[in-house]
Chain A
Amino acid sequence: MRKIRSTAVPIPIENIDTDQIIPARFLKATSREGFGKNLFRDWRYEEDDEARPRIGFPLNDPACKGSILVAGKNFGCGSSREHAAWAIKDYGFQAVVSSFFADIFRNNALNNFLLPVQVSDAFLKHIFSTLEKNPAAELSIDLDAQTLTMAAEGRSEPFDINPYKKTCLINGYDDIDYLLSILPEISAFESKRPIFLQ
């Protein structure tokens, strides 16, 4: 996932909450797979009917495809349900671009090797308008250089990522691997816990 170059699916709506990404009634599964088919379920279909895709919703628009989702500000607000990140990933996205991410969503995305790319409001607006004119425009994300570039015109913006998380993404480590590697240190800390915290 060091470099992603792809067309993108734009959803220019702000405050997209986790209930829209994956409605609660689909949280009954006990595995991590299969959530992609219900991604944005209630925006995607008329009256919950898979035979009637809602016209105009980007996931139903054959012109919009690719492994990058571009969404409005404050993406992923609401619940801690990691199912939201699973659904996006399971659908086939590798990165989400927005001008702001909710905290828990950002963590959940990173823990699932889904890259949250935060850009300025102005750049996000530019991406939306470019994609509106030309849905085939490609975006290119370079994790090493931490840049997002509109491939055709070369306009680019850097993005932030925690250096520890970056190493994890590049090497395929996760937090549990790290925490398990320091268990002796955790035990030493634990042995000194005061009674009022036990």
Chain B
Amino acid sequence: MGKTIFEKIWESHVVSTIEGGPSVLYIDRHFIHEVTSPQAFNGLRQRGRPVRRPSQVVATADHNVPTLGQHLPIREELSRRQVEMLVSNSQEFGIDLYGLGHPYQGIVHVIGPELGVTRPGMTIVCGDSHTSTHGAFGSIAFGIGTSEVEMVLATQCLLQTRPRLMRIRVEGSLANGVLAKDVILHIIAVLGAGGATGYFVEYAGSAIRGLSMEGRMTVCNMSIEMGARGGLIAPDETTFAYMKGRPFAPSGEAWDISLAYWQNLSTDPDAHFDQELLIDAASIEPMVTYGTNPGMGTGVTRSIPSLSEIPETEKNHFSKALQYMGLQAGQPLKGQAVDYVFIGSCTNSRIEDLRLVAAFVKGKRKADNVEVWVVPGSKQVEKAAREEGIDAIFEQAGFQLRQPGCSACLGMNEDKIPAGKYCLSTSNRNFEGRQGPNARTLLASPLTAALAAVTGRIDDARDYL
């Protein structure tokens, strides 16, 4: 029987397998950031261990950094301490750090791909659940906890049990105005917040192949929101074209050797998946979430389900979510007013996202009652946006272009949405309190967000194209 890409990569990285237990999996790339690494470095110190392969580790500061005045010392003491510890730990253990002020700094899942550190066929981990983003290049990439960060630092390996495999095929073409974000929100709405727990997903089908690398990253990024360990997409010409010439991508002979390997990295026609799902691309609408997990979303022209449509066991959860959100069962989504628009996060803060938003808002102005924050995913994205004049378009529209970081995606820094306010957000989580205590998050695509910024409410972008 043939093999899936996942199996091919996995098998080539297994050092050994404990009988009846997990496998020892070799890790090619390890990204670290300030929030989930300090305790791991403390552990290394306690054990008197070095970092085994510092050249395979890349560090950046993202979760906890301010997005205004990054050249100034961080005001909040605990945040500052965390960022300083990342600097001193990186120095002590010989790790390359793209920290504040560095031209490569940015959200860890944005910089890995854009610098060419992320490559097909690799195993990639980071102490962050959205590490699944890197799967867009045809790699096994997944989030780990801090104890596991310490394991990888100390040994370059992890103990892992092989997940089951699911393939999700999206066939056909997407309607104009329907983006990669809508595809993944649709899939999560179909499967539910825990629907892929225990699985690793391969996304396939013509609609997936038709996506840009940025779009593929958006899809893979949210795999975790349905519980999946990760998600990947077979590398192809789109992947190779994106990678060519990136700062750390292979070059010369190394490029040719790598390319030959990457071109063969695909799932065999007779490979087996434990579960398969087929989705018709044409059935996908622009999506918006109304609840407090990313599976609680629906098409923008629809209404929030009524209580009678909800299965008995989920009624409590559903009612609690709507109460938190201040929304009514059965209420149409279109027309719901928003107070904030956040365009950013590792899901949608790449240059393509900013270009799309800029193209839409050019010559328009934000609604008076809406505050709009655009937070680029990295210094590179910010630089490109300025070079392309996107900053001027945003300024005229009344949007605030900030400096790179996770920002209001998780509200760890000062970028919090006030209690009770609605934020239309291009990020990946609408959990209670995610963007600040009692903040109300509605997840959507950058296009739906741009439109909401202009009209002040949720609307169907297809009507404006």
Contact = CB atoms under 8 A, between A and B. Distances in A.
Interface of A: 13-15, 17, 19-20, 23-25, 27-32, 42, 47-48, 73-74, 77-83, 85, 100, 102-104, 107-108, 111-112, 162-165, 174-176, 178-180, 182-183, 185-186, 189-190, 193-198
A189 to B, nearest CB: 5
B157 to A, nearest CB: 5
Contacts of A31: 38-39, 42
Nearest to B77: A28
Contacts of A111: 145, 147-148
Interface string B64-89: 10000000000010110110010000
A196 B262 contact: yes
Given A78-B129, A103-B198, A193-B26, 20 more contacts: A13-B317, A14-B313, A15-B317, A19-B410, A19-B432, A19-B433, A24-B410, A28-B76, A42-B432, A48-B437, A74-B227, A80-B145, A82-B36, A104-B144, A107-B148, A163-B21, A176-B147, A179-B155, A196-B262, A197-B122
A174 B147 contact: yes
Interface stretch (B179-187, B250-258, B375-383, B392-400): B250-258
Interface stretch (B12-20, B276-284, B448-456): B12-20
A23 to B, nearest CB: 5
B431 interface: yes
Contacts of B43: 176
A80 B127 contact: yes
B243 to A, nearest CB: 12
Given A104-B129, A178-B159, A195-B254, A82 B434 contact: no
A79 B131 CA distance: 11
- Select the residue from B38, B161, B431 with max chain A CB neighbours within 10 A: B431
Contacts, number: 191
Contacts of A196: 119, 121, 250, 254, 257-258, 261-262
B320 interface: yes
B122 to A, nearest CB: 6
A37 to B, nearest CB: 15
B367 interface: no
Given A107-B148, A108-B147, A162 B22 contact: yes
A175 B159 contact: yes
Contacts of A48: 437
A19 B292 CA distance: 11
Given A74-B197, A162-B22, A194-B261, A104 B151 contact: no
B239 interface: no
Contacts of B79: 28
A163 B148 CA distance: 19
A104 B15 CA distance: 22
Given A163-B21, A179-B24, A23 B155 contact: no
